[in-house]
C-alpha cells in the first residue's frame, strides 16, 4: 500500500545521514546508485521522530487493529520500542512491543523473544528499515507463529526500494504481502524521496542532484517491478 510520504521523514533521513548517493552494492549483490542505512539514526531526537512517523503510518493504515509491534533483531529493535512509545504518546494506543534474540536464551526465563508475551489472536505488525530480499521477514513470521496463533497483519518499512524481489516480478514488499497475506506499506518509496529531495537544500546543502536522480530513475527502470 503506497501512501504519500511525509516531507519531515526525508529531512530526517538526510540529517541523520541515513541516505547516501553514489555507487554501492546491496546485500543481495546488486549494484545501486543509492543506499539507506537506518543504523545511522543514533540520537534521541531522531529516533523519537522516526518512531512518531512509524506510529502515524500504522494508525493511518491499520487504525486500532494492532496489538503488538514487532521488530526483528537488530535494527528492528529500536524501531519497535520507539513506535510503541509513539503510539501511546501521540495516539493514545498502548500496544505491546517485542523483538527476537539472534540466539535462543537457555537460562533464566529462556526463549527466543523479548518483550510482550505473544498470545493467540494477537494482531502483529512488523517494523523494518529496508526490505531488499525479505529474508528477515521470512525468518520472523515462523518464529512468531511458533509461540502463539498470532495474526501477522502488516509490515511497515522505512524505505521501499521499489525493486523486484527474488521470487518474481513484484517488488520485494508486494511479494512479501502476497506470500504471507498481510498489508505491506512504507513511510516512503525511493521515487517519493527523489521527488521531495532533488535539487533541494536541506540545512544548506544539496544531497541529490538532478543528474543523480536520473541515474536512480534508470536503475528503477531496469530493476523495478514489471
What is the DSSP secondary-structure string of 58-70? Answer: HHHHHTT--SEEE
**Of 90, 91, 105, 212, which one is the catalytic site residue?**
105
| Rounded Cα–Cα distance for residues 39 and 7 (Å) | 20
For residue 149, count other CB atoms closer than 10 A to its CB: 11
Known catalytic residue at 105 = yes
- Residue 11 burial (C-beta neighbours within 10 Å; 0-12, 13-18, 19+): middle
Q: How far is CA 21 from CA 7, 175, 204, 214, in A?
A: 18, 26, 17, 12
Known catalytic residue at 219 = no
For cell 539507506, the residue is 36
**Of 27, 107, 212, 223, which one is the catalytic site residue?**
107
Q: Which residues are catalytic?
A: 105, 107
Amino acid at each position: 500500500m503506497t501512501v504519500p510520504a511525509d516531507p519531515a521523514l526525508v529531512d530526517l533521513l538526510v540529517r541523520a545521514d541515513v541516505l547516501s548517493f553514489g555507487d554501492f552494492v546491496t546485500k543481495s549483490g546488486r549494484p545501486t546508485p543509492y543506499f539507506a542505512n537506518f543504523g545511522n539514526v543514533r540520537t534521541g531526537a531522531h529516533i523519537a521522530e522516526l518512531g512518531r512517523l512509524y506510529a502515524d503510518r500504522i494508525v493511518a493504515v491499520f487504525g486500532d487493529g494492532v496489538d503488538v509491534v514487532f521488530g526483528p533483531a537488530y535494527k528492528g529493535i529500536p524501531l519497535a520500542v520507539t513506535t510503541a512509545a509513539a503510539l501511546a504518546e501521540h495516539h493514545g494506543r498502548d500496544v505491546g512491543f517485542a523483538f527476537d534474540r539472534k540466539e535462543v536464551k537457555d537460562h533464566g526465563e529462556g526463549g527466543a523473544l523479548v518483550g510482550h508475551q505473544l498470545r493467540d489472536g494477537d494482531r502483529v505488525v512488523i517494523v523494518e528499515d529496508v526490505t531488499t530480499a525479505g529474508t528477515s521477514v521470512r525468518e520472523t513470521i515462523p518464529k512468531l507463529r511458533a509461540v502463539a496463533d498470532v495474526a501477522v497483519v502488516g509490515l511497515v518499512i522505512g524505505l521501499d526500494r521499489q525493486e523486484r524481489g527474488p521470487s518474481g516480478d513484484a517488488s520485494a514488499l508486494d511479494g512479501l504481502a502476497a506470500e504471507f497475506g498481510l498489508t505491506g506499506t512504507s513511510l516512503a518509496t525511493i521515487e517519493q524521496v527523489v521527488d521531495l529531495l532533488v535539487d533541494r537544500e536541506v540545512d544548506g546543502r544539496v544531497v541529490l542532484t538532478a543528474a543523480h536522480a536520473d541515474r536512480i530513475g534508470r536503475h528503477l527502470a531496469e530493476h523495478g517491478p514489471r
